[in-house]
A and B are shown apart, each in its own frame.
Chain A
Amino acid sequence: MPRSSRRVVSPDADSDPGHYSDPPLLVLASLADGAKHGHAMLLDIQEMCGTRLGPGTLYGAITRLERDGLIEPLAADDRRQPYRLTAEGRRVLRARLATLYQFARAGLRKLEA
């Protein structure tokens, strides 16, 4: 099939600034106000920051957080498995959010300067 080398005009850049996406941090933040199962976490995260995590991404984050001892499973509710933060998870979440908060404040100060 013939092709030519004529150039195309690039479409305008997408003006969407994008959503925040750090799945483990989003899961930790979602569990900050109490235990939740996977589907409730997805909805909560979407409401918090507009990010819709994929099912595999969510469970990838859950796997890693549980392995690192930052979240723990509770007794299963039917087939749904709720999770909650551990004390270490709460400490890590607080530290990471504080760092992000300082970063955001510094960035905003620069913008306003």
Chain B
Amino acid sequence: MNARLARWLTSLYPPMWRARYGDEFTAFLENQPTTLPAILNVIGSALLEQLRASGDFHMNARQRTLVLMAFAYLAAVAAGMNFYWTVNDTPLAAVMRSHTELSASFRAVAFGSVAAFAVVIAIALPITTSIAVDAIKGRRWRTLGRIAVPFAAAFIVLIWLVVGTIVTGRHWVATPWDVTGDWPAPAEWPPLAIRWTMGSVTFALLVCALAASAVAASQVIRESDFSRYRAVWFRSASLALAVSVAVMTVGVAGWGWFAQQYAAGDFHARNGGLFNSTNVFSWAASCLVFTAASVMALLSVRNQWSHA
């Protein structure tokens, strides 16, 4: 691994961890081969260390609340994306049109996602702007770089998807929900091996993008002072996000229950699940991640209200 990449990967860890292990870990990484699994492993481990550090006493209540909110939102994004792509363009989408309960559950998830996005924008926009302005004034370029990580990550995924679509003939989007192997794909789609390879790359990019965004957000929050903001703002935002994520979680769970009632055959088919898994498996994965997001969002509420 080259020194620059090793230093960047080390920088994803929490400051306290870096102070103890940073130098030796960078030297260790320089001795390791540059492979995608190794890079993903380090990013995942850095995220875990950030999560562990978020429970320590070196953060105040507001910083902990914001870190938990950021993690909850990103987990909800991952779960929501998986749910949407599992259902999109499958016979289940057609079934939804004829069953009010199914479409109502789906709309609840959509409503929750819009509400969660609005909450995140409402809280992130002023905070991020203020941190960025301070960072520019103080010439803290590393902070600015961390703020840019989620945008850069989303941009890279988008570029990959656009280029992949163009290169493969503009008829197929390289998502891991569209690899499929059990039915004759349209003639204009690329061969199965290419769909699996490109879908896997997209999945790896999405995981990296979400993990890197979580780590970067956590680092920026940890380095910032939020004492100038009013407590009621944090309490309201954490509560609103928790309610939004809970609505999505209940919506997805209810949607699965109704799908089992009205379209069990399509629900158990392999035509939209992640990496050609059954739709029900993919749905269950979304439920699990949504539940984790709900727990984190509720912890952020408890943390903020118990320290208010």
Binding site for B on A (CB under 8 A): 1-9, 37-39, 54-57, 59-60, 62-63, 76, 78-81
Contact = CB atoms under 8 A, between A and B. Distances in A.
B45 A38 contact: no
A101 to B, nearest CB: 30
Contacts of A60: 45, 48-49
B25 A59 contact: yes
A1 B89 contact: yes
A38 B24 contact: yes
Contact of A56 (B46, B180, B186): B46
Interface in B168-183: 171-173, 178, 180-183
B195 to A, nearest CB: 11
Interface residues of B, number: 41
Q: Sorted from nearest, which 8 A-B pairs have the closest CB atoms? A: A8-B182, A56-B45, A54-B41, A79-B27, A81-B24, A5-B269, A56-B42, A6-B183
Contact of B28 (A4, A5, A6, A59): A59
Contact of B23 (A2, A55, A79): A79
Contacts of B181: 8
Nearest to A56: B45
B141 interface: no
A37 to B, nearest CB: 8
Contacts, number: 90
A55 B41 contact: yes
A5 B31 contact: no
Contacts of B247: none
Interface stretch (B57-65, B72-80, B270-278): B270-278
A82 to B, nearest CB: 10
Interface string B137-154: 000000000000000000
A54 B24 contact: no
Interface string B177-209: 010111100100100000000000000000000
A3 B90 contact: yes
B24 A7 contact: no
Contacts of A9: 182
A105 B91 CA distance: 52
Given A5-B183, A79-B24, 5 more contacts: A1-B171, A1-B178, A3-B91, A59-B25, A59-B28
B126 interface: no
Nearest to B41: A54
Most-contacted residue by chain A among B23, B24, B266, B276 (CB, 10 A): B24
Contacts of B25: 38, 55, 59
B14 to A, nearest CB: 11
Contact of B41 (A4, A5, A38, A56): A56
A66 to B, nearest CB: 8
A7 B182 contact: yes
